[in-house]
Structure 1
Amino acid sequence: MPENHSIIYISGNVCTRLGVTPGQSVTVTVGNKSARAKIVKKRDSELEDETVSLSERLSAALNIPSGIKLGVTRADNKLKVGPLIGILAKQYQNGVFGQDSFYRKLLAQLKKLTCIGIVFTPQSIDWERKMIHGYYLPNGVTNKWARRWFPFPDIVYNRYFRKDGDPWSYPILKRMQKSGVKSFNAPMGSKWKIHRLLNRDGEIRAHIPETQVLTAVNVLKEMLRKHHQVYVKPAGGFQGKGITRVRKSNGTYMCQGTTDMQEYKYTDINRVYRRTRSAAKSKIMLVQQAITCPSRIGHFDVRAMVQKDHTDKWNITGLAARVGGKGRVTTNLHTGGKPERLDSVLAACGFRDSEITEIISSINKLSLKIAGTLEKYITPIGEIGLDFIIDTTGRVWFLEANSKPGRRAFSQMELNKDERLSIIRPMLYARYLAGFREGE
């Protein structure tokens, strides 16, 4: 049959798996687009394992590039190909995306999984036509970005970082959901929301530092009376911005913010209160008990990357210590923090091998518990970055959760296995959510 017909080429083995026969007319779908096509059988050796190919006419009817191998599954008596995975990102003026290398790696992984991968922004969406003017890599990971119109995807992986003035991702994803588009990694909400959700679980609650909403100066005063040192931070902050450390010493108050290289001394707690409130734009500020770290290498925390894959189960992808920059309040990599191997940092703090094993085991167990608990209230989540701190006794304390964790800690330490897994797992999970299983 000539290429100017709508044809889906399928091997004999795949025909058997799908329960279809050559010459049969079927509906083929990708994303929210569908078209009728004839099945033409190809030898098993002409197609990669469990893949199909489409004629140019069928590819054009489905608004996808031609000449690519695709996965296939059967659903509702239709042949679903792809799947088409869209990655929602923020566009920057100085380039296509702020994390160009990261998105290239994701798309390269999707190609290995015989999926179609595109990156798009809120401005790329044509709501009337239900189409996306998406970016893709036509000739591999090192090639230049190209753009074309695609149908709405099967799944959206939300990697959108909103800043002041930007549209919110949640209404975008909810609106796409009405067209049958699934997504994962929607915003989890404020730090206070996460705190309240996790505080319902007694096992987790035992690992959370005391945290209060900073509604008045008396709240700050009482927390300092109990703990002598606290952190004040915005409920909706990110990248360590807007955080102030406050410690009480001999009747005075020492304050240091994220961007400060030194402490500032106050005698009036009302001035301290005003300073902490003005350090961030957030209306809701939290005050949290400070945990004392082992002091041999300075302050540090631990980032745990927890992700799902094609099994729909949580996995610990990697752990990394983040050592705060000299004179800095936070350990965030954006403010001078440096990633280090966790076992090396713990050893430098004087913990014995058996204690290090126990600490890491505790972090892993608590990470899986927190991920499973959050999933009960916020779904679907495909990955979470969890931050912990270790006190002088080796006790693990939970600090906060991040629904869009970065990979810089793993790449900067050259933990290639952990970085690769952090790319592979969310793409396997996206394929799973689209209804494709192993071998399809």
Structure 2
Amino acid sequence: MAQPTLGIMTLYLSEHSGVEERSYFRKVIAQAEKLGLRAVVFTPVDVDAKNKRIHAYVYDTETGRWSRSWTPFPHLIYDRCRYQDSERFRKFRRFRATYTRLVYLNRPISNKWGMHQFLATSARIRPHLPHTRVYSEHADLTAFMRGRRLVYLKPINGTGGRGILRIERQSGGHYLVQGRDRNRRIVAPKLVSAKQLPLQLAAWNVKDRYLIQQGIPSKLPDGRVHDFRLLIQKNGSGEWEVTGCAGRVGPKMSITSNLHGGGQAVPMTELLRRRFASEEKIEEIRKAVYSLGYAVATEVEGRFGRLCELGIDIAIDPDGHPWLLELNPKPAREVFARIGEKETYEKAISRPLEYALWLYKQHYGTSSSRRRSGAGKSAASSTR
């Protein structure tokens, strides 16, 4: 069997100027080489459709240098194109719509609202979803805040904590508004009256592309917010497996805990001990979080098609109940390196590659090997 090629699809940072995640891709390519897999990087604009080839970025692990080379379409594609409001992202969407018969490790999923609506149909997952609705006008927020002290406004698209507002009801009919702008910069808390609140939101340019979401109490004794990032990935047998879970603590004055926004990574158990004294309770929470991760991955893949990994952001309320905050189908994994879990971090890099090799055998192996491995099973198994 010929050496398989994995094309890592990404986006340019600007028009033909550098690609995203280059540091991560170097590690992926080096690990792929050890596993007997050739990995290259390309963007949707690097495609020569007529000759069925791509102008790929090739990394030499011995010299540490990048070069460009024309190469045939890869056997497999690992999609790392994250949402951005740009022509580059629109070209990516056209690529996915055009090349539907290529073998992708992962499929696109819905935006936050579509995902919430879908997961709300699951009796298993519904109890872990914060109440959420679309924001179209200020009356939506007014109605949503009745009986609630804390809510968040989030962009329907995008990740990384950009453009999020936190609104907390104060005494005397006032509201404390704070957030992060679209460049992740912290917006200082501001106390406004009920009459001033619509003007504050108008200045923020909050329109119908935003969601209103129930706030989950997540402040530590020092006032900093925190959550947990669970990484669940396919392994070399095509099965879901939790790779790890780590805590994230936001910087002072921040409403988010994202590492790119200055958050601090903390081992899961250590962070839980800051809030829960019982080791039995902590283990109960850990099991509940892992179980939720498996349920979410299974449901999402069943609806949207093949996936290779999901980053799941989870908040734990004072009672120890896990709440699903956000899904990221193209997650980072640096949180594990930052907490010193080297083995988990290396596994997080290796698993998509091990899954890619398994997938390659399903699609390009001999007919006998495909029968032995179960290729051609029911549609339910084909998403693997």
Partner of 1:399: 325
**Secondary structure, counterpart of 1:87 in structure 2:** strand
Cα distance, 1:214–1:261 mapped onto 2, change above 3 Å: closer
Q: Which amino acid aligns with 2:46?
A: S
Q: 1:278 offset after TM fit, Å?
A: 4.7
Q: CA deviation at 1:187?
A: 2.9
User: Is 1:220 the equivalent of 2:141?
Assistant: yes
* Counterpart Cα distance in 2 of 1:368 and 1:276: 37
**Structure 2 SS opposite 1:206:** helix
Q: Does 1:287 align with 2:181?
A: no
User: In the alignment, which residue of structure 1 is the partner of 2:82?
Assistant: 161
2:4 is the counterpart of 1:83: yes
Q: Is the 8 A contact 1:88 1:159 kept in 2?
A: yes
Give the deviation of 1:275 after TM superposition.
Answer: 3.0
The C-alpha deviation readout for 1:193-222, integer Å capped at 9, x for no partner, is: 110110000121001111111122222112
Shift of 1:84: 1.1
CA distance in structure 1 between the partners assigned to 2:272 and 2:164 by the alignment: 25
Which amino acid is the alignment partner of residue 106 of structure 2? Answer: N
Indicate whether 1:386 and 2:307 are aligned. no
Aligned match of 1:175 = 98
RMSD of Structure 2 on Structure 1 (CA):
2.2
| TM superposition shift of 1:281 | 7.0
Q: Compared with structure 1, are the counterparts of its residues 216 and 92 closer, same or farther at alpha carbon in structure 2 (3 Å cutoff)?
A: closer
Q: Which residue of 2 aligns with 1:257?
A: 179
Match of 1:99 among 21, 34, 54: 21
The 3 A distance-change label for structure 1 pair 241 and 218 is same
Secondary structure of the residue that 1:404 maps to in structure 2? coil
CA offset at residue 396 of structure 1?
Answer: 0.8
Deviation at 1:160, TM superposition (A): 1.4
Cα distance, 1:167 vs structure 2:
3.1
Q: Distance in 1 between matches of 2:336 and 2:63?
A: 22
Amino acid at match of 2:221: R
Q: Which has the higher contact order (CA 8 A, sep 6+)?
A: 2
Would the alpha carbon gap of residues 326 and 224 (structure 1) be closer, same or farther in structure 2, given more than 3 Å must change? same
Q: Which runs of 5+ in 2 are unaligned?
A: 374-384
| Rg (Cα) greater in structure | 1
TM-score (norm 2): 0.87
**Distance in 2 (alpha carbons) for counterparts of 1:350 and 1:142:** 49
Cα distance in 2 for partners of 1:302, 1:141 equals 37
Superposed displacement of residue 294, structure 1? 5.5
Return 5+ residue gaps in structure 1 as ranges.
Answer: 1-71, 73-80
Corresponding residue to 2:64 among 127, 130, 143: 143
- With normalisation by structure 1, the TM-score equals 0.77
Tell me the percent identity.
29
From 120, 126, 133, the equivalent of 2:42 is 120
Q: Which amino acid aligns with 1:252?
A: H
Q: Deviations over 1:150-183 (max 9, x none)?
A: 1111110001124222233232123223xx4211
Residue 245 of structure 1 corresponds to 166
Q: Which residue of 1 aligns with 2:231?
A: 305
1:408 Cα offset (Å): 1.8
SS at match of 2:175: strand
- Which of 100, 105, 126 in structure 2 is aligned with 1:184? 105
Q: Is the CA contact (8 Å cut-off) linking 1:384 and 1:403 kept in structure 2?
A: yes
Equivalence for 1:51: none
Mapped to 2, the partners of 1:229 and 1:397 lie a distance apart of 15
Change (3 A) 1:186 1:280: farther
Task: Give, as a single letter, the amino acid of the residue that structure 1 aligns with 2:125.
Answer: I
Q: CA deviation at 1:184?
A: 2.8
Q: Distance in 1 between matches of 2:17 and 2:266?
A: 30
Q: Deviations over 1:130-159 (max 9, x none)?
A: 101111234x26520122111111110001
| Structure 1 residue 283, shift from structure 2 partner | 3.9
1:219 to 1:283, Cα distance in 2 relative to 1, 3 A: closer
- Number of paired residues? 357
Paired amino acid for 1:320:
A
Q: 1:408 aligns with which of 334, 349, 357?
A: 334
State the shift of 1:97 in Å.
2.9
Report Cα offsets for 1:333-362 as digits up to 9, x if no partner. 122211111100111223311111111110
Distance 2:178 2:205 in 1: 13
Matching residue of 1:132: 54
